[in-house]
Amino acid sequence: MSARDESGRTIDQAEEAIQAAMRASDLAELDLLIADDLAFSGPDGAVVGKAADLEAHRTGATRFERIEETLRRTTETPEGGTTETTAVATVWNEGRWVDVSLRWVRDWRIIDGRWQVASGSVTILG
């Protein structure tokens, strides 16, 4: 049985919500789904926090036209859980749209009554 946050959302529903928020650059939803002390490693190895992640969406530096999930593995622990998601995405990169395969690993915790990403990474698969 999957753990649920105070709204009844499972970790998989939270993963679906963050993907939708990323596609829409929905700052309000991203703010709710990302922990204040986020540490997230990008494809270049740089670690960003919540403020930088939200700012990248706000300014359009990070934009997703498409995220099509091809595989997801979800593991729950007493402390929270992890999603490992592989997807084909169309992202804005250096002034143009690029199709790329990505893998996100997100460590989720229930913080303030809701699932939030506490840490994670994204890597380019090709």
Q: What is the pLDDT of residues 68-77, one digit of tens each?
A: 999 999 999 8
Within 10 A of 32 (CB to CB), how many other CB atoms are there? 17
Q: How far apart are CA 10 and CA 8, in angstroms?
A: 7
Is residue 46's pLDDT more than 90?
Answer: yes
Q: Average pLDDT of 37-55? A: 95
Q: What is the pLDDT of residue 1?
A: 63
Q: How far apart are CA 63 and CA 25, in angstroms?
A: 7
Cα-flanking dihedrals φ and ψ of residue 23, to 5°? -60, -40
Class of the CATH domain delimited by 11-124: alpha beta
Within 42-113, strands assigned E span 47-48, 64-77, 80-93, 96-111
Alpha carbon 22 to chain centroid, angstroms: 7
Is residue 95's pLDDT more than 90?
Answer: no
Which pair of structure tokens corresponds to residue 104? 């996100």
Within 10 A of 118 (CB to CB), how many other CB atoms are there? 19
Which pair of structure tokens corresponds to residue 66? 């498409």
